[in-house]
């Protein structure tokens, strides 16, 4: 009898231990979320986007941001000495680079050609009114001759000429690195502006175009350096 009771107690204890183990396993399974299967769509979404690659033109403009000092070379062309001085002043006012007089200190060089033309434009104008007319007739009767003739004319001619002095400037320049690589170029012309001569105006146009290229290069750098957005799975 006692042996039977011992076997029954042992059976009940073993059953309780087995039930407790099952309970603990179930609790652990329900406590942790099951992993979702990695699908192709989730794998693509989890992959970070590749950084933007600049084009050849954008790569050249990015090198503008590395320039610190610029030397303006003597330009080719008539009257280019004055335009060179005006370019130096315009670049200095723009404040993008240090403009130096010693080319040994420069890491980029502004080179090209310029023309400063002063000439006279002549024009001639002629207005007039001319009318001419004539008439004649002859008649023979009984051996007698009879003649009649008529003529008239009107003439009025007026001419005028004028001379106008004109001033034009043309600049074609490029920015060159020490290794000979051209990273920027521009061509501008001017016939003068209000309160400003042609040479000064064309120099300011070149400086403004260079500033615009520099600002665009800054935007390109921000785009290239922007970190790709990572979308978690």
pLDDT tens per residue across all 233 residues of the chain: 444 454 455 566 566 666 666 665 555 555 545 455 555 555 544 455 555 677 878 888 899 999 999 999 999 998 899 999 999 999 999 999 999 999 999 999 999 999 988 766 656 666 655 656 565 555 555 555 555 555 656 666 666 666 666 778 999 999 999 999 999 999 999 887 666 788 899 999 999 999 999 999 999 998 888 755 444 44
The structure tokens listed for 188 are: 């501008």
- Residue 95 gets the label, from left (phi > 0), alpha (psi -120 to 50) or beta, of left
Domain spans, the chain: 56-122+167-225
Q: How many CB atoms lie within 10 A of CB 42?
A: 14
Alpha carbon distance 64, 108 (integer Å)? 9
Is 57 in a helix, a strand, or coil?
Answer: helix
DSSP string, 208-226: HHHHHHHHHHHHHHHHHHP
| CATH architecture for residues 56-122+167-225 | 2-Layer Sandwich (3.30)
CB 102 within 8 A of CB 163: no
């Amino acid at each position: 009898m006692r042996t039977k009771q011992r076997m029954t107690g042992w059976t009940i204890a073993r059953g309780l231990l087995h039930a407790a183990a099952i309970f603990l396993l179930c609790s652990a399974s329900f406590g942790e979320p099951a992993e979702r299967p990695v699908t192709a769509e989730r794998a693509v979404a989890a992959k970070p986007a590749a950084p933007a690659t600049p084009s050849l033109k954008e790569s050249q403009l990015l090198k503008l941001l590395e320039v610190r000092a610029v030397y303006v070379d003597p330009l080719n062309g008539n009257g280019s000495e004055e335009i060179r001085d005006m370019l130096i002043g315009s670049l200095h006012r723009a404040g993008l680079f240090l403009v130096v007089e010693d080319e040994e200190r420069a890491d980029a060089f502004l080179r090209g050609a310029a023309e400063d033309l002063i000439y006279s434009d002549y024009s001639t104008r002629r207005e007039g009114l001319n009318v001419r007319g004539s008439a004649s007739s002859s008649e023979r009767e009984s051996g007698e001759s009879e003649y009649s003739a008529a003529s008239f004319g009107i003439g009025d001619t007026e001419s005028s000429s004028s001379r106008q002095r004109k001033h034009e400037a043309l600049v074609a320049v490029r920015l060159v690195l020490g290794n000979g690589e051209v990273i920027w170029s521009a061509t501008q012309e001017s016939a003068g502006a209000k309160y400003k001569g042609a040479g000064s105006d064309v120099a300011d146009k070149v400086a403004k175009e260079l500033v615009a290229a520099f600002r665009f290069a800054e935007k390109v750098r921000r785009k290239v350096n922007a970190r790709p957005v990572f979308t978690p799975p």
